[in-house]
Structure 1
């Protein structure tokens, strides 16, 4: 349902909807072309959010956050994957230009959170401008991030990508016991 290439979104939270099946954080920021844009970023479902995120770490209107996110596949791609289903009328939340699954959220404090399970953590690391050490610290400190990191090695998109395979090996050599 999602593309395999990460998109980094940085901006100000203008709306946060704590709902099911997924929470939605609306982010306003400047696109690469300088235009102000709004993105809808899917997050954990309401019940998971209550379990996994403290009130202090919940996105609040006015917070500046950064997300490693993965866009949805086009209606045409989805129709090929699911013959007979009609994706032509699919739309994002009103007032947004694009919708994404937010895989990793970087909070105003700089702390990272695995936000939504849909995504490829190694692609977030590979495409990040942040220091590699911060990602290693994140993997060491977050059981959910470690689980996502270890599970991704089975994904076909990771197995077929030399850059991601190389990154997996680099991280394994830095944290030998990461995946048990």
Structure 2
């Protein structure tokens, strides 16, 4: 008479059991990847919603002016590339290349870099071109982790006509 443990060992060694384990493992991986996508989508949508709710408070604009942006893509919740239009530390305002102004919250944990040098946040000036990487805050601002000040791009020479 076979014991319970012997029967269990034989069952675990069958091809059907191995197939079931592979299928369950694959489904678990697919589920976790899907959940990660849902989580990131929720964070991005949450930032966009909070950005809209706080637009008037942050920029002093009427709420109806924000409705024109609804047909655009959601703004990037984790950073911005653009030009500094306002500095009032601990916040700076950056006009992004997507046409959306964002308030960037600067803290002591924020790294500010210009070329290879670390600089102080107080050295950020209006019209600086910046790249900001950070995390979205519930009030629609971005908590900056890194602000990189980019060099000024040289103006491109335009072709001139020599015809009189």
Same fold (TM over 0.5): no
Q: Given the two structures, how large is their TM-score scaled by the length of structure 2?
A: 0.36
Name which one, 1 or 2, has greater alpha-carbon Rg: 2
* Greater percentage in helix: 2
TM-score (norm: length of structure 1): 0.33
